[in-house]
Amino acid sequence: MLFQEEKIGQRSQPITHEVERGAIRRFARALGLTSAIHQDVASAQAAGFRDLVAPPTFVVTLLPWQIPGLTLPSAGVLHGEQEFWWGEPICAGDQIQVTGWVEDVKTRSGKTGRMHIITIASEGMHQDEQPAFRARAVLIVTEEAENASRG
């Protein structure tokens, strides 16, 4: 079985991301956000930020999906739930250290067969060790997807 309770607590290696102005601008544009705090440094600073401020959901670009021992199938994974908690705003120039871990693994039987419900958590810390965010994602791997990933 690919998804066992013994995987609970397995952590990714910490990854440090340098947040770039261009990445913030592109992400904000993709979401249709028009606030100048995401596009213009002077406007962001006038609003009290250090530099361009990242939209709250920008953190999805930082999440670590490489957790040792956890291999998700390339197809058949359902995204069941997502939660975010935010700390200090993320701004251009910030160094955000991100770590992810397996928070929970459950196996259930349903109408279509067995499924694994995997909760992956992650947190991001600013360079001054202040919390930037914490995230939780609940993923559902069907028995069919698990079998297909075995070849």
Rounded to two decimals, what is the model's pTM?
0.84
How confident is the model at residue 5, as a pLDDT? 73
**Per-residue pLDDT tens digits for 38-97:** 999 999 999 999 999 999 999 999 988 788 878 788 788 889 999 999 999 999 999 999
Q: Is 89 in contact with 58 (CB distance < 8 Å)? A: no
Q: Which residues pair with 77 in a beta bridge?
A: 141
- Smallest CA-to-CA distance from 150 within 73, 77, 94, 80 is with 73
Position 3 scores a pLDDT of 61
Average pLDDT estimate for 106-132: 92
User: What pLDDT, in 10s, does the model give residues 18-36?
Assistant: 999 999 999 999 999 999 9
User: 3-state class of 131 per DSSP?
Assistant: strand
Domain 5-19+55-149, classified CATH 3.10.129.10, yes or no:
yes
Question: Which pLDDT band, with edges at 50, 70 and 90, does 128 fall under?
Answer: very high
